[in-house]
Amino acid sequence: MEDSRITRTIREPGARPDAPTSKPNGHDKSRQWPLLNTEHAHIGLPGKIVAAIKPNTEADPVAILFNFLVAFGSAVGRHPYFQVEADRHYPT
C-alpha cells in the first residue's frame, strides 16, 4: 500500500478519476510524482521570493527556487568566490 503523503497519481488532462490509466497497447499512463518537503530550503531572500510568487503561479515551488538560484548565479558571474583551503568555489 502506497503512502498518499509521498506520491500522487498523475493522469492525462481531462481524464475521469475512475478512468483506467493504461492504454490497449499496455503502456501505463499513470506516473508517480514525489511530494517533497522542501520548506527547509525556502529560507532567506530566495525563500521570500518563492513565497511571493507561489500564490500567483501553478509552478512547483522547487522549480521557482531553482530558477531563481540559477538566474542569480548567472547575473553575479564568475568573479566572486569563496575559498575553502586552496580551492576557489564560484557561484556558476
CA nearest 92: which of 46, 79, 68?
79
- For residues 92 and 74, what is the distance between their CA atoms, to the nearest angstrom? 7
pLDDT tens for 49-88 read: 999 999 999 998 889 999 998 898 889 888 898 899 999 9
Beta-carbon neighbour count of residue 11 at 10 Å?
A: 15
CB 8 within 8 Å of CB 33: yes
Q: What is the pTM of this model?
A: 0.54
Rg (alpha carbons) of the chain, rounded to whole number: 20
C-alpha cell at 10: 498523475
